[in-house]
């Protein structure tokens, strides 16, 4: 696992966008796994700016959704499908056919989970998966004590996660669904490169447990320690509880340019 400490969220977004741009130059039809929420927005903003400036061609990129609420009406503005289309697919100039995600409105949710897991494999697997982290250490919607071998499935959200996400529903927790479809940890770990961005002091404890704590289902993000190519990008606030912060700064400062992100 590589840990990169940056000045702020904007710098983190630019760094990760540079890595995605390098991937697209090597593999123009790369399958990019995207997360939602406020944390990854600087990544998308920086990547969109590069595309608009002509420094990278994303026209053949494909986009895969990480998770989805269960039960929201089709086209609901806060469904993750709508969010990804609005924040990533459309600004990059991609067609809806370049996008894939689970069907949270399906009558048979279990079948929808299995179908999406299969679809990811059929598409050749995710080349780079962007991840955020919850204050309780969850990734995707794999809440604490999720199986580290889990596949795409339905999960019940913790009350803390619903509280955290209420800001997207007019701060009304009653509007936040109780269930989601999420790629499981086992599914996430099959991506070729995992990139987690965390910003703010509120994520500091979760980051420390993820990076320096034991691999444990209680902190689902700690499973990134098992991945051969995982990058954790954090701002100074989110890095504030890392015991090895100075070492991480030193290793990144002396990283060979050819290694990339």
User: Which residues does the annotation mark as catalytic?
Assistant: 67, 136, 138, 143
In the 8-state DSSP scheme, what is residue 87?
Answer: I
Contact 155, 146 (CB under 8 A): yes
Sign of CA dihedral 193, 248, 146, 173: negative
CA distance 206 to 239: 10
Nearest residue to 240 (alpha-carbon basis) of 200, 202, 204? 204
DSSP structure class, residue 48:
H
- Report the candidate in 82, 94, 38, 84 with the shortest Cα–Cα distance to residue 64: 84
80-92: burial string, b at 16+ Cβ within 10 Å, e else: bbebbbebbbebb
Would you put residue 145 in left (φ > 0), alpha (ψ -120 to 50) or beta?
Answer: left
């Amino acid at each position: 696992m590589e840990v990169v400490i940056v000045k702020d969220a904007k710098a983190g977004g630019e760094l990760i966008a540079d890595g995605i741009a390098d991937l697209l130059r090597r593999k123009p039809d790369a399958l990019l796994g995207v997360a939602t929420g406020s944390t990854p927005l600087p990544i998308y903003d920086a990547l969109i700016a590069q595309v608009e400036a002509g420094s990278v061609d994303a026209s053949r990129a494909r986009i895969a959704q990480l998770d989805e609420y269960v039960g929201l009406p089709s086209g609901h503005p806060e469904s993750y499908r709508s969010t990804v289309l609005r924040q990533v697919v459309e600004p990059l100039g991609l067609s809806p056919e370049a996008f894939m995600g689970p069907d949270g409105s399906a009558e048979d949710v279990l079948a929808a989970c299995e179908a999406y897991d299969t679809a990811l494999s059929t598409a050749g697997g995710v080349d780079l998966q962007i991840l955020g982290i919850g204050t309780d250490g969850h990734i995707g919607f794999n809440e604490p004590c999720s199986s580290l071998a889990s596949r795409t499935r339905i999960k019940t959200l913790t009350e803390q996660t619903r509280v955290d996400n209420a800001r997207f529903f007019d701060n009304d927790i009653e509007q936040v669904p109780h269930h989601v479809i999420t790629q499981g940890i086992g599914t996430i770990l099959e991506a070729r490169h995992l990139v987690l961005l965390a910003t703010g002091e509120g994520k500091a404890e979760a980051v420390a447990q993820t990076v320096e704590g034991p691999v444990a289902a209680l902190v689902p993000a700690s499973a990134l320690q098992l991945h051969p190519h995982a990058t954790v990008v954090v701002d100074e606030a989110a890095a504030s509880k890392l015991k090895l912060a100075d070492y991480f700064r030193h290793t990144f400062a002396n990283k060979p340019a050819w290694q990339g992100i």
